[in-house]
Amino acid sequence: MSATAQAAPAGTAPKGRGGIVQSVTDSLVMAKRNLIRMVRIPEVVIFGLIQPIMFVVLFSYVFGGSIKVPGSGTDAASYREFLMAGIFAQTVTFATAGAGAGIAEDMHKGLIDRFRSLPMARGAVLTGRTLADLVQTALTLVVLAVVAALVGWSAHDGIPKALAGFGLLLLLGYAFTWIGALIGLSVRTPEAATSGGLVWLFPLTFISVAFVPSQNMPGFLQHLAEWNPFSATVVAARELFGNLPPGYPVPDAWPMQHPVWASLIWSAAIIVVFRTLAVRKYRNATA
């Protein structure tokens, strides 16, 4: 061994070359690794499709006849169009649990420690995981849109606005995967990450305008629903899809009056805050 060669101090790892280009490259490599893993375990994707499809069918045909959307008169089919943006948003946000469980599993198996031994950007492991989850979510959303079309849903304002609506949904889903990443780094087992990733999502999605109009809620819940970041994206998607009835009464809350801007602001804020916290937690957890 060369006399100049020295062992690295215990507990340290080689540092990456740094820079934006290196960080992007490392993140894409990690994303590819996670996508290959998903392809080799197709049942994860298949089971991920079953729940949202069940929600579409159940809400459309079981509850749809009992829920009236203000401004739609007696047209029961209007609820299906009102519903779909909520189902789409619920689907993309429920990817949070998968992101958290995947990262927790990597931590549990010691893979994160192996990644630390490589000269790579510190945030690349998490960014790669969230990007891979975004691709899986996009594929799920495509399948779900086809199922929604089969039960009577359609976008009425053209392809560009429809794509913009799906873009906002995917942005919200990507933002929420960073919450999942933080949860996955904060628990000890993948099972705990799955539970922790879902327990707060149910009240977030149901205390919103995803499934029922906020006008039907008690006063305090109505305010929570109208300022819910989930609600902002749902209403923005409905607006871009052209799925709001002509006489639908828009609440006075700012996010409901400007849903597209509110959705962008909420999603960007969640990404900035939770990516910062997740990367910091990752560094501390693997130090």
Close Cβ partners of 207 (under 8 Å, ≥ 6 residues apart) = 217, 221, 224, 225, 228
pLDDT of residue 268: 97
Would you tell me how many other CB atoms lie within 10 Å of the CB of residue 119? 12
> Whose CA is closest to 45, among 112, 174, 143, 120?
143
What is the pLDDT, as a whole number, of residue 3? 40
- Please report the pLDDT score of residue 103 as a whole number: 82
Walk along the chain (287 residues) and give the pLDDT tens digit of each residue: 444 344 444 444 444 455 678 788 888 888 888 788 777 777 777 777 787 888 788 877 776 666 777 666 555 567 788 888 999 999 899 888 878 888 888 777 777 767 766 777 777 888 888 998 899 899 889 988 988 888 888 888 889 999 999 999 999 999 999 999 899 888 878 888 878 878 888 889 989 988 888 887 888 889 999 999 999 999 999 999 988 877 778 888 999 999 999 999 999 999 999 999 998 888 876 54
pLDDT of residue 159: 92
Could you tell me the pTM of the whole model?
0.84
Q: What is the pLDDT of residue 78?
A: 74
Q: What pLDDT score does 65 carry?
A: 62
